[in-house]
Amino acid sequence: MEHNLQAIEMLKAYKKRLDPFLRVYLSSKMAQAEKLDPLAVRTLEIIERFVLSGGKRLRPALTYYGYLAGGGEDSEKIVEASMAIELAHAFLLIHDDIIDRDDTRHGIETVHETYRSWGKKLKLEEGEAVHFGNSMAITAGDYTHAMANEILYDIDFTPEIILNALRKIQKIVSHTIPGEMLDILMGARGSSTEEEIIRMHEGKTARYTFEGPLHFGCILAGHENTELFDAFSAYSLPVGKAFQIQDDILGIFGNEIKLGKSVGADIIEGKQTLLVFKALQNGDARQVGEIKRLLGKRDLTESEIGDFRNIIRETGSLDYSLKLAEKLVATSLAALKNIEFKNNEAKKFLEGIAEYIIKREV
């Protein structure tokens, strides 16, 4: 429990260090854009609002502690470089919100919803306004991805490290895409297997949220020890899967204000989560029928969300998911024992974050 609390304070402290860098960088991009096109300035304003509205900065923090674990010592340069991971994350979120048809993120309008509102002001019909919003948000996401890469081109590291870092950030994105596509496919198909769900968690979350940033930090430290990369993978993949399982639980049982997005959005979107899979597998005919009726229902009521939650509990699906997340975190913590840390602060953070995963409420 002590490590858990320490890690949260360390994460908050890193966010306080990073956000001024992000603010300065995005302001400089807006100043440059003023010489190009007013539309580019408006786009950057929307991106800045989205990026700075919230988020814990977990991925850049993991980059930082991966850097320290790999023997890196320049804490100023790595904070600047870790902006690239946060902007790559923002790019993926902007596109993911379109796919999931989410209206809010971090308590504010999603980027595509902001542009949809703009489309309505242009007197577009609802369908055209939605298309306009999605189209503009896709390009804003692409803009954000370009900035993530630009940061790496300009950082004060050796050319070899920069090249390796660029390769890595592209690899992180390319590993995430199949996981996202599998998520979309399972939702469209209306069915899944447990193996598919866990594979999706690995691609969409574990490699992109944990393994990628830790490897990225090691690369920026100039580390080439493959044993350390393998050890971080052994830690990252289980804890990343646990993170997604807990995220899916919070998506149904969490507090909407704390989450910053609608509770029940995963139900409305028809997401094939582990919770859904186990409920369908274990439920009786009535429970299975009700899950299928509610999953993907666009006009879901509070009462129906309550019914959905009850079935998830009654079928043992919630208990199964919680226990699996705990087991995965235990595997990650065991893997940390095989890592010879050059920096004890990094070890403390990784232990605490793993413990936090299964206790977090937001």
Q: Where are the domains of the chain?
A: 2-357
pLDDT at residue 225 in the model: 72
User: Pick the residue with more confidence: 75 or 70?
Assistant: 70
- Give yes or no for a contact between 303 and 280, defined as CB atoms under 8 angstroms apart: no
Interhelix angle 344-357/2-33, rounded to 10 degrees, is 100
Encoded tokens for 132: 């306009």
CB 194 within 8 A of CB 277: yes
**The domain made up of 2-357 is a member of CATH 3.90.650.10:** no
- Note whether 235 and 210 are within 8 A (CB): yes
With 70 as the cut, is the pLDDT of residue 207 above it? yes
* Nearest CA-CA partner of 50 in 115, 122, 146: 115
At residue 269, the pLDDT reads: 86
In this prediction, residue 223 carries a pLDDT of 83
For residues 312 and 330, give the distance between their C-alpha atoms in angstroms, rounded to a whole number.
24
The pLDDT of residue 138 is above 80: yes
Task: Say whether pLDDT at 260 is over 60.
Answer: no
The whole-chain average pLDDT of the chain stands at 92
CA distance linking residue 137 with residue 210, whole number of Å: 26
| Mean predicted confidence (pLDDT) in 264-293 | 92
**pTM of this structure:** 0.92
Local confidence band at 256 (pLDDT 50, 70, 90 cut-offs): low
- What is the predicted pLDDT for the residue at 28? 95
Q: What is the pLDDT of residue 261?
A: 59
pLDDT of amino acid 361: 62
pLDDT range class, residue 357, cuts 50, 70, 90: confident
**Residue 213: is its pLDDT beyond 80?**
yes
**pLDDT of 3 above 80:** no
pLDDT at 344: 84
The values of phi and psi at residue 150, to 5°, are -60, -40
Q: pLDDT tens across 299-334, in order?
A: 889 999 999 999 999 999 999 999 999 999 999 999
| Nearest Cα to Cα of residue 107 among 214, 261, 293 | 261
213, 85 contact by CB (below 8 A): yes
Per-residue pLDDT band for 352 (boundaries 50, 70, 90) equals very high
